[in-house]
Amino acid sequence: MKKHVIKAALLGAGTVGSGVYALAGMLSDEIGKKTGGRLEIKRIMVRDLKKKRDGIPPELLTDNWEEILNDDEIRLVIEVMGGVEPAKTYITQAVLSGKQVVSANKDLLAVHGQELLSLAEEREVDLQFEAAVAGAIPIIRPLKQSLSASLLTEIMGIVNGTTNYILTKMSEEGMSYEEALGEATKLGYAEADPTADVEGHDAARKIAIMASLAYNSTVVFSDVYTEGITKITAEDVRYAKEFGYVIKLVGIAALEDGQIGVRVHPMLIPEQHPLATVRDSFNAVFVHGEANDDAMFMGRGAGKMPTASAVMGDVIIVMRNILHDNCGFGGGVAYKHIPVKPMEETRSRFFLRLKVADRPGALANIAGVLGNNDVSIAQVVQKPSRGRVAELVIITGAVLERHFNDALMIVKGMSVVEEVSGIIRVYGE
The helix/strand/coil state of 9 is strand
- Which residues have a Cβ under 8 Å from the Cβ of 426 and sit 6 or more positions away? 245, 267, 268, 348, 349, 350, 351, 395, 396
Instruction: Please state whether beta strands 37-45 and 61-62 pair in parallel, antiparallel, or not at all (unpaired).
Output: parallel
The helix/strand/coil state of 294 is strand
- Measured CA to CA, the distance from residue 171 to residue 236 in angstroms comes to 10
Where would I find the beta strands (DSSP E) of 207-346?
Answer: 225-226, 245-256, 259-270, 282-289, 293-300
In Å, the largest CA–CA distance within the chain is: 87
* Catalytically annotated residue among 42, 99, 169, 206: 206
CB 44 within 8 A of CB 56: yes
- Measured CA to CA, the distance from residue 43 to residue 59 in angstroms comes to 8
Asked if 50 is an active-site residue, the reply is no
Q: 208 phi and psi, to 5 degrees?
A: -65, -45
- Measured CA to CA, the distance from residue 106 to residue 90 in angstroms comes to 15
Q: Where does residue 348 rank: exposed (0-12), middle (13-18), buried (19+ CB within 10 A)?
A: buried
CA quadruple 272, 201, 260, 338: dihedral sign: negative
- Measured CA to CA, the distance from residue 213 to residue 84 in angstroms comes to 20
- Cα 130 to the center of its chain, rounded Å: 12
Provide the residue type at 268 as one letter: L
Active site residues: 206
